[in-house]
Amino acid sequence: MSSPSLTIERYGLTEVYTSENPAADVIFVHGLNGDPERTWTSQKTHAFWPRDLLPKELDGRARILVYGYDADVVAWGGSGGVGKDMIHNHAERLVATLVANRRRQHAEERPIVFVAHSLGGLVVKRALIYSSAVRAGTRTERLRSIFLSTYGILFLGTPHHGSNVAFWGSYLEKIAGVVLPKRFVDSAPQLVEALKSNSETLVNIDRGFSSIMTEFHLYFFHEAKKTDMKGTLQFIVEEDSAAPTLPDVERASIDADHSHICKFDNERSPGYDLVTDAISYYVEEAETTHLVASRWQREKQHRRLDQGNLLSEMYRIPQPEISEPSSRDSSPAPGKSTGPRLLSHAPHRVDYEVEEVEDVAHIPVPK
């Protein structure tokens, strides 16, 4: 077992705990104007619960990582400005980073459980859409591994259907401790703009994810307390947006506001038992049901079939039609052969681009 990392990298993946033989990777993805440490750290006890509390709940069965990306729409001191990337940029980088990290660990097929707060949930959804769209047999097929390996996702206050963008300005002022420019709401950065109710970005993510969501175990958590917005109490993400009612999907409230729905002071904090039990359950189920392993097995079968079809298309040599021998002369003349018998049914054709070869007579036929 390796020692937990004491330094959390602002960007990219940081492994904060790992067991000797982890059954799954549990990956935390923060939200708007968050970071991979502050988002998950209690302001009272300073408990960084993915490292300080969660490992013992998992009985040493997982590797725990936090992911950081530039989701700043309010510049912190010395940060050099706000992020310019859009949700799909963050999603593509998340997939690429995970693929690289897991390949180095020789763990491409290890199950994944995501824990995402707010905007982070949209990044995870978009990442899985992107990964699932990659075709087997292409030069980028390794990016498909994240979709294949994901077992479950916990969404903490994710605005699946958006939120009132006017609230985000006051909310970010509150958590950042700065006063935003008056033009902030009118010229909202692209990440805030995407969080508007029924924005085109959200609609596209929702449609894309709906076609693959049955592949995963999902748990929606919504805030039960309103956030103080300069004396006005408001829900940042309403219940119907954070926890839409869908078949075969778990949902629950946490007795905290939007900023604290993802922070736990200790094991007795509201929602801690619900969230950690769900993570533990998903890790255990991923290990015992072999769902991810079965998904990978089917994928490998399809890849072998596709590769076989490709080779068949590449090396097919036209042959003359061979007439059936008559019943009176069922054997060929000495020194002659009837030649190979043509298949009556060609294998299923897969459309691949293959270079034409001028001299097919010199192509070795695979045995």
The CATH number that applies at residue 264 is 3.40.50.1820
Which pLDDT band holds residue 360 (cuts at 50, 70, 90)? very low
The pLDDT value given to residue 367:
44
Q: Region 129-141: what's the mean pLDDT?
A: 89
Domain total of the chain: 1
Neighbour-count burial for 211-241, b at 16+ CB within 10 Å, e otherwise: ebbeebbbbbbbbbbebebeeeebbbbbeeb
State pLDDT tens for residues 209-238: 999 999 999 999 999 999 887 778 889 899
Lowest mean pLDDT among 68-72, 96-100, 312-316, 317-321: 317-321
First vs last C-alpha separation in the chain: 47
pLDDT band at 61 (very low <50, low <70, confident <90, very high): very high
Q: Of the given ranges (48-52, 63-67, 290-294, 311-315), which has the lowest mean pLDDT?
A: 311-315
The pLDDT of residue 74 is 53
Q: Which of 148, 71, 154, 152 is nearest to 108 (CA)?
A: 148
| Residue 338: Cβ within 10 Å count | 12
What does the pLDDT read at residue 172? Answer: 66
Q: Which residues of 9-39 are buried (b: 16+ CB within 10 A; e: fewer)?
A: eeebbbbbbbbeebbbbbbbbbbbbbbbbbb
Q: Which residue has 């049955």 as its token pair?
A: 214
| Interior/surface letters 147-171, b for 16+ CB within 10 angstroms, e for the rest | bbbbbbbbbbbbbbbbbbbebbbbb
Dist. CA 354–CA 229, nearest whole Å: 61
pLDDT (mean) for 270-298: 95
Kindly report, residue by residue over 24-47, the tens digit of the pLDDT: 999 999 998 889 999 999 999 999
Structural domain containing residue 27: 12-297
- Residue 336 has a pLDDT of 45
Extract the tokens encoding 139: 């030069």
Residue 331 has pLDDT above 90, yes or no: no
pLDDT at 135: 84
Calculate what percentage of the chain has a pLDDT beyond 90: 56
Do the domain assignments include residue 74?
Answer: yes
* Tens-digit pLDDT profile for residues 147-157: 999 999 999 99
What 8-state DSSP symbol labels residue 252? E
pTM for the whole structure = 0.78
Q: What is the pLDDT, as a whole number, of residue 47?
A: 97
Identify whether the C-beta of residue 210 lies closer than 8 Å to the C-beta of residue 129.
Answer: no
Q: Is residue 21 part of a domain?
A: yes
Residue at 302 is within a domain: no
Question: Looking at residue 139, what is its pLDDT?
Answer: 86
- Euclidean distance between CA atoms 62 and 76, whole angstroms: 33
Band of pLDDT at residue 107, cut at 50, 70 and 90? very high
Domain-embedded: residue 322: no
The arrangement of strands across the sheet holding 250-254 comes to 12-18, 62-68, 24-29, 112-117, 150-156, 217-223, 250-254
Looking at residue 334, its pLDDT comes to: 47
Confidence grade of residue 185 (pLDDT, cut at 50, 70, 90) = very low
Say which residue, 358 or 310, is predicted with more confidence: 310
305 in a structural domain:
no
Is 103 contained in some domain? Answer: yes
Q: 313 lies in a domain?
A: no
pLDDT at residue 18 in the model: 95
Contact 42, 263 (CB under 8 A): yes
The whole-angstrom separation of Cα 244 and Cα 217 is 15
| DSSP for 310-358, written as a single string | HHHHHH-------PPPPTT--SPPTT----PPPPSSPPPP--------S
pLDDT of residue 176: 57
- The pLDDT confidence band at residue 110, using thresholds 50, 70 and 90, is very high
Does 339 fall in a domain? no
Residue 73 class from Cβ within 10 Å (0-12 exposed, 13-18 middle, 19+ buried)? buried
Lowest-pLDDT range of 37-41, 68-72, 336-340: 336-340
- Determine the length of the chain: 367
Q: Percent of the chain, pLDDT > 70?
A: 71
